[in-house]
Structure 1
Amino acid sequence: MKTTDNTHSIFDDDPLLAEKKKFYPTLGHAWLIPVYSLVVFITFYIAATLAYPGIINDKLLSSLITIPIYCSLLLVMLIYSYNRKKKIEPDYILPFRTPSVAVLLTGPFLMFSLYLFTFGVQEWIHLSAFQEWDSVFLLIREKPVFYCFIYFLIDPFIQESLMRGVILDSFLKNYSPVKALLNVAAISFAFSLSPYTLLYTTSFSLMLSWIYLKTDNLGNTFYMQVLCGLIPALLVFILQDQFNTYVQQALRSPVWVGAAGIIAILCIIVLQTSLPSTNKAIK
């Protein structure tokens, strides 16, 4: 990946790359991915609705049908994009390595605090993300094996390989770090286009992209994705019938949400000081 000297801002594209911005995908190519995915997904969803009219009111059935479709679409996009990237960079291999110790230790605290802080803020501005996750909580209770297979293995691998391993990796070679990270976060949000998930989706994407920028290691971001699925599953199983009550009380508590924000900042500071600098990690 590109390196920057002290005369260039992280907001500026590297002038040395101005004449050879050919790494795939570029911004234009990458933004077509959520567009194509949404069009195809909507088409499949309409077909599924016509075939199974009850899917609209059955959250469990809807999840069991739409999640595999969604993962399949992302997998197709990943295979296509990775092959295109390999034509330009024949030696490129997705950098999956053992997660860093700092990420392993701070990850659970950072992920939990990010959940609590972003969901809590959205609760305060009356855009409750909690209600949007009803189908996820139902899936955890009713189909735990399916949930674990998707959210502990399939989805993390596809998401990180595509969003960080292919898209962000090329963006960092074509554009400034800030431009690269913000566009990946926007593309991540474009897959849902729901105001109820705006803060969480963009914050989570920025965090993962920043970790990849620091470490050039998809093992770190894969681990964080697994935690993303593990934390709600553990809460559902531990709290059982009291899950909704306790979680909503926490989300509406300024003390809990404020503490979560402080913990998240402390975790980021620890990672900033523990992980290698960008110039060393991004080759």
Structure 2
Amino acid sequence: MTSDMSSPSEDFKVVPDKFTNAYPTLSQIWALLGVFFLSQLPAALPMVGFKAVAESYGLPFLDTIGQTLAYTISLVITIWYAFRKRGSRNLSFASVPVAAYLVAAVGLVAMGMLAEPIVSAIPMPDAIQEIIKNTFTKHVILSAVIAAPILEEILFRGIILDGFLKNYSPAKAVIWSGVIFGAIHLIPAQALNAAFIGIALGWLYYRTRSLTLCMFLHFVNNGLSSLTFLMDDKLDMSHNQTRDWAGNDLLYGALLVGCALICVACYSYLNRILPTAQIN
């Protein structure tokens, strides 16, 4: 599926024919986020139970099940609430060329490497670093790699961004949805990185209306992050791991330039092959 080529400045000029007051608006998002955070309280009950059994009987996989269940329950409750408020359970899984999956994945990885110097420069207090180490264990990878790409994309792209696109200009909708996606991660370094990813996925959803593509890219991002953690469990988001792997500043600088060129090339290609955005 192809379309005529559009420039970046033209890309965000497609606006709704009329504002529909679709759910959610920016004013309604606070209640939705409130449901998201409050639902984590009852959702934590199975996690506590599974953790107690896991520690008593030496079965760490039960702790994994408990954490995954708690995370899943919280998101399912929030999605259910959003569907009720929206009055519809319709989601968009539009078809996208296979090449778009591959090119977008390469671009997302390159973008992550470009963001790393900024993310790692954010001060990370020892107390926050300790919380991260205690929270992000090998046992939560199941929820990070499988549950998150599916449920978070349904909520943040399929519901929140979809509603924003019907209420606001595409640029405002995509940026705000990305900022909100970053904000729910709470920890500053994680929040900034998630906001970058949220904006990139938001633009792709705006152009394609494909949750399948967004879920795939979310899976790739979380999968690579989890793989890195499995290879080196000394998790330190305030440290630039790629710079260490490069060995010197010259090589690292060249790597960043290469990543920037890859991002530009991927964006240009996707902007050319993806359908012209339509608001519906």
TM-score clears 0.5: yes
Offset at residue 12 of structure 1 (A): 9.4
2:141 equivalent to 1:147: yes
- Please tell me whether the aligned partners of residues 161 and 202 of structure 2 are also in contact (alpha carbons under 8 angstroms): yes
**Structure 1 CA distance for aligned equivalents of residues 179 and 30 of structure 2:** 9
- Matched to 1:249, the amino acid is D
Which structure has more helix as a fraction of its residues? Answer: 1
Superposed CA deviations along residues 206-246 of structure 1, whole A, max 9, x for unmatched, are 00010000011111101101101221244455x56899896
Aligned residue in 1 for 2:25 = 26
Identical pairs, percent:
21
Distance 1:258 1:80, change over 3 A: same
| Structure 2: distance between partners of 1:29 and 1:200 | 25
Change beyond 3 A, Cα 1:249–1:9: closer
CA distance in 2, matches of 1:262, 1:134: 34
Amino acid at match of 1:123: S
Structure-2 residue corresponding to 1:261: 260
Aligned counterparts of 1:122 and 1:69: Cα–Cα separation in 2: 28
The residue type equivalent to 2:264 in the other structure is I
Could you list the runs of 5+ residues in structure 1 that have no partner in the other structure?
1-7
- Match in the other structure for 1:5: none
Assess if the C-alpha contact under 8 Å between 2:104 and 2:270 holds in 1: no
Normalised TM-score (structure 1): 0.71
Equivalent residue for 2:74?
73
Q: Please give the TM-score of this superposition, normalised by the length of structure 2.
A: 0.72
The answer to whether the Cα contact below 8 Å between 2:39 and 2:78 also exists between their aligned partners in 1 is: no
- The 8 Å contact of residues 24 and 164 in structure 2, kept in 1 or not, is answered as yes
| 1:204 corresponding residue in structure 2 | 197
Cα displacement string for residues 38-86 of structure 1 (whole angstroms, at most 9, x for unaligned residues): 344368769988x97xx9xxxx99987555423321111112212332x
> Aligned partners of 2:161 and 2:229: how far apart in 1?
33
Q: Is the 8 A contact 1:214 1:275 kept in 2?
A: yes
| Correspondence for 2:219 | 226
Gaps of 5+ in 2: 1-9, 56-60
Task: Map 1:165-204 onto structure 2 (within 5 A).
Answer: 165-204=158-197
* Pairing 1:1-283 to 2, within 5 Å after superposition: 10=12, 14=16, 16-18=17-19, 21-41=20-40, 68-85=69-86, 87=87, 93-124=90-121, 126=123, 134=133, 138-139=137-138, 143=139, 147-148=141-142, 150-236=143-229, 239=231, 247=242, 249-250=244-245, 253=249, 254-255=252-253, 256-279=255-278, 282-283=279-280
Provide the rounded CA distance (Å) in 2 between the counterparts of 1:135 and 1:269.
41
Cα RMSD for the two superposed structures = 4.0
Partner of 1:3: none
Residue 35 of structure 2 contacts residue 78 of structure 2 at CA under 8 Å; is this kept in 1?
no
Q: Which residue number in structure 2 is paired with residue 4 of structure 1?
A: none
Q: Is the 8 A contact 1:99 1:223 kept in 2?
A: no
For residue 151 of structure 1, report the CA deviation from its aligned partner. 3.3
What is the one-letter code of the residue matched to 2:141?
Y
**Within 1, Cα distance between the matches of 2:11 and 2:202?**
18
Once the two structures are superposed, residues 13-58 of structure 1 have per-residue CA deviations (whole angstroms, 9 ceiling, x without a partner) of 65x524xx33122222223222332344368769988x97xx9xxx
